[in-house]
Amino acid sequence: MTILNKAADMVVLSVLWCLCSLPVLTLGASSSALYHTIIKVIRQNRGYAFATFKDAFKSNLKQSVPFTALLILLYALFGITCYVCWQKPDSLIASMYVFFSIFSILVCLCIQIHGFALLGRFHLKRQELFTLIVRLSFGHLFKNFLLLCILVFAVELAIYYPPLLFIVPAGFFYLSSYLQEPMFKKHINYQDDEDISEV
């Protein structure tokens, strides 16, 4: 019954994440809320999935929208640069721009994964958030590689098997939390069962 309840909660959370991410600019708030709910409800057995997600979404909306907008702008910039330069395979400079753009997109993905998780997990000032994101994105290369692999696998599943959208988002954040929580503990002093408002 416990396994079935958690599976049902993860389906509910995945649906909520999909619905709340539709405006695109709210992707950060929905991702932060999902990570927070995965930790609190699925892993710590505290509270209810819908109510926890709703409260976390509201509390993270204002702070996450500018962050999400900046990421979208960077993805568009590097994506367009990569596409334009890809049309010139004979140019060394264009090839360098392609490599730089792909590398920058991967870095942005790491920033996105850690940034949204930190926003959902802790109350941090902008400078603290920026410092932690930099440390997490460049100080744990192997774990970041694993996170990116999990992300790519999750996206592939969602694209080729659309019904899995009902479980893939929550599944990704659940798996990523086992990599990210130990990373967070190296930089932030907190207890496993601390609530977001107590950090």
At 100-142, the pLDDT tens digits run: 999 999 999 999 999 999 999 998 888 899 999 999 999 899 9
* Domain carrying residue 155: 2-198
> Would you tell me how many other CB atoms lie within 10 Å of the CB of residue 21?
18
> Would you tell me how many other CB atoms lie within 10 Å of the CB of residue 84?
13
Cα separation, 121 vs 31, whole angstroms: 11
pLDDT at 192: 58
| Average pLDDT of the segment spanning 151-179 | 93
**Which of the 8 DSSP states describes residue 161?**
-
Helix (H, G, I), strand (E, B) or coil at 190: coil
pLDDT at 133: 94
State residue 91 phi and psi, 5-degree precision: -95, 125
Cα separation, 192 vs 190, whole angstroms: 7
Helix (H, G, I), strand (E, B) or coil at 107: helix
pLDDT at 199: 39
pTM (two decimals)? 0.90
Give the count of domains, the chain: 1
pLDDT at 151 over 90: yes
Pair 120, 33: CB distance under 8 Å: yes
Cα separation, 85 vs 34, whole angstroms: 36
pLDDT at 34 over 80: yes
| Average pLDDT of the segment spanning 36-64 | 93
Which two tokens mark 49?
């999935």
State residue 140 phi and psi, 5-degree precision: -135, 65
23: confidence class by pLDDT, cuts 50, 70, 90? confident
Cα separation, 153 vs 172, whole angstroms: 9
Pair 47, 41: CB distance under 8 Å: yes
Which two tokens mark 23?
């405006």
198: confidence class by pLDDT, cuts 50, 70, 90? very low
